[in-house]
A and B are shown apart, each in its own frame.
Chain A
């Protein structure tokens, strides 16, 4: 074996020292890994090298004598001799720095980059002592805006091609480019085409000088005044690792952190700049209680007492809790324990009718981003426009397609940002995902959902080649999501080994579901019927007897006057529930509304008690991304006013209700989660905060659904209604883990390629299982550790055929919308787009309308007026609109629970 591995390393000499490198590794990387830093400006490890700045030229001898070569472009070769310290190298590098500084303005004292500037640092380390230029420097107009978020100072620019390469190669928004020539070369936008990219902030972060600056940060702080902590972005569910920087107890900036499994250092602009909402003057600072038509400030004691009194007086079946996707895992667990374990209600839902059933999200074999993007694979994308909802996942998919031979088969109700990258885009009628997938699985022999058989057959052929993963989400808010569920069930039934990556959008929605904030579920991806005894044994005062309502059910009950207390934990139903009329009626119908939130919104303005919550730069804890990756969130600043952590509010409410949740710190809560939540077993505080877990840890560390899918489906078939304990008993935990490992080996054979990370987690899990086995005697023997929730086939749903006069509505999101975070971030608030109804050009004639004309969209629930725009990316027979944008509320067209929404489009 060792002989076979011998060619895996290349031996070369760097500064007289023999070092080993991997074949294909660049000299600059090999040198750095072996302790020799070669200065550089244009080289960036996440982008193709260009050899432009020439700063990294060193003498390299490949047998023909030493020659100056850019170490960022030369791969290592056997017997290569590299000298980074020779007189020739030093003179050349000093010369390059002198050239770079010739026209650089040296306005460091007023430059945001001063203090963290690679040009400054490397000039100190490698540059000449003084300038020999006596001529006038080059002059340009001082900073010009190249977008709403980024300013460009061309005098400072050293033309390293980092921003332009990022825009073109990474983001795919080639809106900045070099213009002119020679010494007059400059970066600029095309006339009247601003650098309107969702990823523009990354160019600021990777700029090696102060040429690109972010408007929200300009002149706000000096780098040496900043204090920082590593955390996880919670603007969406991708979970990008970030550094949160603050000055004088105020958050000033986020920077992306390069972690391999998730964001590679990139952030989207929403994630990067919506910290402004955290520092907003509008933040809720003190509790508010209703006095007549007004909300007036109150002390915590009074407000909590009022809330507790309402909860105490209500029958558990008439209490409902909405929200939780904004919380940390710890706070979500505390709220789940309060709602289900103390109040005893199961009317709990972290989603707001805009997601997918929790059993679908939690019960399918899960894929990581790396597995989805693994070279040579095929991705079946059934979900939203990834660029609009999960922007950094878009960057990963784009890279996978362009560099790693990944093919995307997209199922969508209209073309999306991914369509140009997709090997096939199947535009289907809303709600027909199930039929289309059935047809795909059958090889595409007949038309389905408006997709021609030939297109299906071509896509089916793509799915034949290579391993397939599925990205599953909610593409269209104007349908019920039943189509996506049916599609997932069909795939899972036919190919139980296929893994799914959830594309639900909201920050910690996956963590909230894991913690049981969904009807019928308990923490750790368990069901009420399976896990009730386990949690009671674990110290929960009670557990709901029967499955409760989901968000739509809760709102319907509230609208019907059947809810006495509606608790909104970071939820804004008026903005987020697709069915606007239902949300309005529900808020009016609930007797008491208690809202816990950071910022005022339409829903909590109608609440009876408003409790201010700390934001995500103000709390410690963990969050879980769409892969199920648990990573840390860290407090950097103190919350405004008397705002408190969400879990503390739950603890206090429980205490007022005469119960003790049993924890006094985030660590206490995590310890209980690790002990009780089966999906999180083994992920102790020690593991969580270990060096190996710095990129986050995917849970469960090893789980039956992933390890032995075949066994699972057969058990399901045999006893669909019974509790699926898998024969696991207390004494058999270690044994079961052993089985899992065996099953994993079998899966190895079947799949040929198992992700290195998965292997590591499985190994980890074995150790964990051993430890758990050792702990067993101290645990009560009454209840077995419950099994994880698994998708139960629902039989699928099918959308009714459209009538000849209507168009089927497609309602999608944009990254920048009227959401609270965006609207309270001044730099982002203005970036919302005007709404319009997009129709296929052919439909204009049929409907007798003209491009740009105002039209009325009439659905069963209501009507809105919008301008009509011809757009070939919308299939014929569909009408596409944006939700949550300025203009008429699209929610008034939608009826919760309807399979699809049909609209008449008529001249206004």
Chain B
């Protein structure tokens, strides 16, 4: 097993009862990264982050240093927005970072503001995260009082104000343009990109960098220890450490910080220090490798490293780092319904295919689960999926503005292709002919299946 002995970077205070207080934070090296950053030029800080190859930890995995460079030069003011609207099923790493180590996030925000030249940051925290809100608010008040935030930070001419903003309970606001709309006081609905790439025209139509909580929480360590030290950990494009939230049918569900790019799914699910194996000695049926919108993985994918490139090549994604494990007692149809129901409920209502399509999919699946499936329902499900995400491919195409609609397609495609027999049985028989071409490396029938293989 490749459980590495790399020291944790951002969960060092998770074990402390008072890790969220300013006293403990300062006693454990807090705000040293900020001091180090302020001693350098903003460009030098930016270079450190680029050298660290820090990938965004929100889901898309875009290099943070590169993203920062997208702000058009000379356009002011520009803003930093922190995406703390973590809402995907099975994802709960950012919540712990905000609850257990809020100052680390604040310090990361300050370093990022210094690097990109923002004087104002907005911390958007999911509405349901009461403890995170309370601790962040307290931490921010303490940090203001101690002179880490506000005017002339640490005696320099660097000034930043941080505004806390609580969400109102919409998953879609995790999408960066919807988050910006929500911050502006509007209904949280995505903007079309182009023309509104936030780095060019974001909050209040000004250049805006939107970063995830975990991404920013890495910055104090990166600046303190150097980008290259960070980049020494991990493999391929996936550097440093990363948080994974393991849930579902494992013995020890939880958030684990592992060395990025080298640890495997098998390590994370079976290692005693991590997931500890499948509950009750059951067999693994499938697992979702990176949040509810990711195509499912199976037994044969267990030895893939937790590395963006390798997982992408296998037809799925690491996404938000949520690994949901299903054992052999899981009903595939019901599991697909359950995931689709989430997306149907969370559709913002803007684009027709997502608003109407996801709900329709949910109702067809519910009908099948309730025992009223018809043989033609499998074809219908896939054709509706095709109208939301043409070609049912990975990575998905879309008829919508944002990827929420297509997100409901991958669990259906995964479940139908892999567990077709279950679907055929639930739909009252039929030949299970799949009418549309499905292309995606992870959309594969079970190796021992004798039925016809559709797609790749």
B345-366 CB contacts (< 8 Å) to partner A? 345-353, 355-360, 363-364
Cross-chain contact B360 with A182 (CB below 8 angstroms): no
Interface size of A by Cβ–Cβ distance < 8 Å? 36
What is the 8 Å Cβ interface bit string for chain A, positions 174-211, against chain B (1 contact, 0 not)? 00011011111100000000000000000000000000
A54 and B388 alpha carbons, distance in the complex (Å): 11
Q: Give chain B nearest CB distance to A48 CB in angstroms.
A: 11
> B130 interface residue, CB < 8 Å from A?
no
Known: A70-B192, A185-B348. 11 other contacts (CB 8 A): A50-B350, A51-B192, A54-B353, A54-B399, A95-B357, A99-B353, A99-B355, A102-B356, A182-B344, A183-B349, A184-B349
B47-72 CB contacts (< 8 Å) to partner A? none
Cross-chain contact B387 with A91 (CB below 8 angstroms): yes
Cross-chain contact B349 with A54 (CB below 8 angstroms): no
> A100 interface residue, CB < 8 Å from B?
yes
> A103 interface residue, CB < 8 Å from B?
yes
Cross-chain contact B367 with A73 (CB below 8 angstroms): no
Q: Which residues of A contact B360 (CB under 8 A)?
A: 99, 102, 133, 135
Cross-chain contact B364 with A135 (CB below 8 angstroms): yes
Cross-chain contact B356 with A92 (CB below 8 angstroms): no
Q: Which residues of B contact A73 (CB under 8 A)?
A: 192
Cross-chain contact A132 with B401 (CB below 8 angstroms): no
Cross-chain contact A182 with B348 (CB below 8 angstroms): yes
Q: Which residues of A contact B271 (CB under 8 A)?
A: none
A424 and B242 alpha carbons, distance in the complex (Å): 55
Chain B residues near A (Cβ < 8 Å): 170, 187, 192, 344-353, 355-360, 363-364, 367, 380, 384, 386-388, 390, 397-401
Q: Which residues of A contact B364 (CB under 8 A)?
A: 135
A183 and B351 alpha carbons, distance in the complex (Å): 11
Cross-chain contact B352 with A53 (CB below 8 angstroms): yes
Q: Give chain B nearest CB distance to A898 CB in angstroms.
A: 49
Cross-chain contact A182 with B358 (CB below 8 angstroms): yes
Q: Give chain B nearest CB distance to A177 CB in angstroms.
A: 7
Cross-chain contact A99 with B349 (CB below 8 angstroms): no
A96 and B360 alpha carbons, distance in the complex (Å): 13
A68 and B401 alpha carbons, distance in the complex (Å): 10
Cross-chain contact B390 with A68 (CB below 8 angstroms): yes
Partner of B351, one of A54, A177, A184: A54
The number of inter-chain residue pairs (CB within 8 angstroms) is 95
Q: Which residues of B contact A177 (CB under 8 A)?
A: 187
| CB-defined A-B contacts under 8 Å, sample of 30 | A51-B351, A51-B401, A53-B352, A54-B353, A57-B399, A68-B397, A70-B192, A91-B387, A91-B390, A92-B387, A96-B353, A99-B352, A99-B355, A99-B356, A99-B387, A133-B360, A135-B363, A158-B352, A178-B187, A178-B349, A181-B345, A181-B346, A181-B348, A182-B345, A182-B347, A182-B348, A182-B349, A183-B356, A183-B358, A183-B359
Q: Give chain B nearest CB distance to A600 CB in angstroms.
A: 50
Q: Give chain A nearest CB distance to B391 CB in angstroms.
A: 8
A661-712 CB contacts (< 8 Å) to partner B? none
* Chain A residue nearest in CB terms to B376: A132
Cross-chain contact A182 with B192 (CB below 8 angstroms): no
Partner of B346, one of A94, A100, A158, A182: A182
Q: Give chain B nearest CB distance to A286 CB in angstroms.
A: 57
> A55 interface residue, CB < 8 Å from B?
yes
A55 and B353 alpha carbons, distance in the complex (Å): 10
A181 and B352 alpha carbons, distance in the complex (Å): 12
Q: Give chain A nearest CB distance to B365 CB in angstroms.
A: 11
Q: Give chain A nearest CB distance to B292 CB in angstroms.
A: 15
Partner of B352, one of A54, A88, A91: A54
A54 and B352 alpha carbons, distance in the complex (Å): 6
Q: Give chain B nearest CB distance to A20 CB in angstroms.
A: 22
User: Known: A92-B390, A100-B352. Contact between A181 and B400, CB under 8 A?
Assistant: no
* Chain B residue nearest in CB terms to A132: B380
> A67 interface residue, CB < 8 Å from B?
yes
A178 and B357 alpha carbons, distance in the complex (Å): 19
Q: Give chain B nearest CB distance to A9 CB in angstroms.
A: 21
Cross-chain contact B345 with A96 (CB below 8 angstroms): no
Cross-chain contact B390 with A88 (CB below 8 angstroms): yes
* Chain B residue nearest in CB terms to A99: B356
Q: Which residues of A contact B355 (CB under 8 A)?
A: 99, 159, 182-183, 185
> A410 interface residue, CB < 8 Å from B?
no
What is the 8 Å Cβ interface bit string for chain A, positions 565-576, against chain B (1 contact, 0 not)? 000000000000
User: Known: A52-B351, A54-B352, A132-B380. Contact between A99 and B346, CB under 8 A?
Assistant: no
Closest 10 pairs (CB-CB, A-B) = A95-B387, A185-B349, A99-B356, A183-B359, A182-B347, A135-B363, A54-B352, A99-B352, A51-B192, A102-B356
Q: Give chain A nearest CB distance to B372 CB in angstroms.
A: 9
Q: Which residues of B contact A181 (CB under 8 A)?
A: 170, 345-349
* Chain B residue nearest in CB terms to A59: B390
Q: Give chain A nearest CB distance to B197 CB in angstroms.
A: 14
> A349 interface residue, CB < 8 Å from B?
no
> A98 interface residue, CB < 8 Å from B?
yes
* Chain B residue nearest in CB terms to A180: B349
A100 and B390 alpha carbons, distance in the complex (Å): 17
